[in-house]
Structure 1
Amino acid sequence: MLAIEKVRAITLDLDDTLWPIWPTIAKAEKALGTWFDEHAPATGRLWADLERRRLLREQVVREHLDRSHDMGFMRHESIRRALAQSGEDEALAGPAFEVFIAMRHQVELYEDAQEALAFLAERFPVVAVSNGNADLSRIGLAPHFRAAFSASSFGVGKPDARIFHAAAEAAGVPADAVLHVGDDALLDVLGAHAAGMQTAWVNRGEHPWMQALRPHVQVADLRELCALFS
């Protein structure tokens, strides 16, 4: 059970907590494919083949296990290799990646996100903790956050306790005074719990909880989360 009186800071997941990530990724992939069709058509044909793209990505992961937490690197390197395999200019990887990442930041927030961020930021230091590569400044949400930690910039991702502890330090409180909020049972709930934090599972889809260790609180959305502090 959540001990409300102990909460002095909030750490917050981003993808699928503040916005749905897969519709955004789909739009970014479509924009990248369109760009390839114009600037690197042979690569575009490779990229349109989902199986070839999957194998390419798996190869990049195998060869760069030490960078597998860095989504931006993995994406850029996959694009570069696709260009090389297609016999096209590898220097196009930079502008191609920028096409993808620009669209990746065109997120559509859940309807409760802005209101909830404003509410929470008025009451607590809020720190982002994400395994994705979203830039809060590009999205326009940075003013709500004391700090932001991503796996790509920090060097490890969730569920590693180090990224949670760094977020607590940035918030200026011990880990046991933090409520971590996120949608992923393993990365968010179990990861933050192991780091000594309280946990709130945002279960927008009414999914069953499948783990032995339960979150301190389950909420259907961020409005329900905010109501806990009203």
Structure 2
Amino acid sequence: MRRPFRSYATMLKLRLLTWDVKDTLLRLRIPVGESYAAEAQAHGLHVEAEALSRAFHQAYKAQVQRFPNYGLDRGLSSKQWWQDVVMETFRFSGVHEDNVLLPIAEKLYWDYCSKRNWELLPGASETLQQCRQLGIRMAVISNFDRRLPEILAQCNLHQHFEFVLTSESVGFAKPDKRIFLEALRISRVPPPLAAHVGDNYMNDYRAPREAGMHSFLIRTAKKPASWETEVPQEHILPTLTYLLSLIEKG
């Protein structure tokens, strides 16, 4: 049942704004398959980028299903979790020499901390800056691992946020509403004065609303997303900067 919607002609008065990161504020500069192919080439292997891209999605999906949230409850570290994904990606692509795959996996793990692999989405920096100028406190809520604070620092975004909650650090992942409740607890902001922005219907729209917050989804692709028929148009951001028009100033 869709939640009753108050017209945003009366704008939101927010004290806390939480953000998803990947495909909301930052996106990968080049596809995963191309990054993996380039690193393989540096180690003397030639593997097609398209084959690696297909294999990555297969390996990643299987790993998420087998070991949710980086396998924390099974004694894995996120680093080991990602290295296993990389190695399985190459195995699916026909490379099985672990003595070669391990250094590739190690290098790729650290490479994805670097800003050379990430770029800001249009309007991200401007929107964050103006939200800060409005006096809105901000934080990150992301299904990411322990590298995220370093990535935010590398991309010059860290100064905008009071705290960063990753699913690895908190111990549960979106769409579990407890990660949003933890942000509300830390900030001591009542749910009606908080909102979340992201790109995933279940994780970034439904889950924060289950915690009593407002939420908005960013439209990042030209074609309509599958969730657009489920979400009131007033909750969809055609651009990140559009958010500013929904926030009460002063």
For normalisation by structure 2, the TM-score amounts to 0.73
Q: 1:219 is matched with which residue: 226, 237, 240?
A: 237
Q: Which residue of 2 aligns with 1:126?
A: 138
Aligned to 1:187: 203
1:104–1:33 CA distance, 2 compared to 1 (3 A): farther
Q: CA deviation at 1:170?
A: 2.8
Deviation digits for residues 133-159 of structure 1 (CA, Å, limit 9, x no counterpart): 543112210001111112233222221
Task: For 1:68 and 1:150, locate their aligned partners in 2 and report how far apart those are by CA, in whole Å.
Answer: 14
- Work out whether residues 200 and 215 of structure 1, in 8 Å CA contact, stay in contact via their aligned partners in 2: no
Determine the C-alpha separation between the residues in 2 that align with 1:125 and 1:49: 40
After superposition, the Cα gap between the structure-2 partners of 1:77 and 1:167, relative to the gap in structure 1 and judged at 3 Å, is same
How far does the alpha carbon of each residue in 1:108-151 deviate from its partner, in whole angstroms, 9 at most, with x for none?
A: 22331111111112311101112245431122100011111122
How far the C-alpha of 1:194 sits from its partner, in A, is: 0.6
Closer, same or farther in 2 for the Cα pair 1:107/1:59, shift >3 Å? closer
Amino acid aligned to 2:143: N
Cα separation, 2, equivalents of 1:46 and 1:5 = 45
Aligned CA distance change for structure 1 residues 31 and 83 (closer, same or farther; 3 Å)? closer
**Is the 2:33–2:56 Cα contact (8 Å) retained in structure 1?**
no
Q: Is the 8 A contact 2:181 2:211 kept in 1?
A: yes
Cα distance between partner residues in 2 of 1:192 and 1:97 = 30
Task: Give the aligned partner of residue 110 of structure 1.
Answer: 121
User: What is the DSSP-based 3-state SS (H/G/I as helix, E as strand, rest coil) of the residue aligned with 1:108?
Assistant: strand
In 2, Cα distance between the equivalents of 1:95 and 1:201?
A: 33
**3-state SS, counterpart of residue 41 of structure 1:** coil
Q: Is the Cα contact below 8 Å between 1:189 and 1:215 reproduced in 2?
A: no
Q: Tell me if 1:30 matches 2:34.
A: yes
Task: Quote the residue 1:88 is aligned against.
Answer: 98
Specify which structure has the higher proportion of helix: 1
Q: Which residue of 2 aligns with 1:60?
A: 63
- Pair 1:46–1:146, CA change in 2 (3 A): closer
- Alignment correspondent of 1:11: 18
In structure 2, the partner of 1:158 is: 174
Could you tell me which amino acid in structure 2 is paired with residue 37 of structure 1? Answer: Q
Residues 1:161 and 1:59: Cα distance change in structure 2 (over 3 Å): closer
2:3 is aligned to none
What is the percentage of aligned positions where both structures have the same residue? 20
Indicate how the Cα distance of structure 1 residues 191 and 59 shifts in structure 2: closer, same or farther if over 3 A, else same.
closer
- Which moved further from structure 2: 156-165 or 171-180? 171-180
TM-score, structure 1 length as denominator? 0.78
Distance 1:32 1:8, change over 3 A: same
Distance 2:246 2:55 in 1: 47
Do residues 201 (structure 1) and 217 (structure 2) align? yes
2-structure distance, mates of 1:111, 1:51: 27
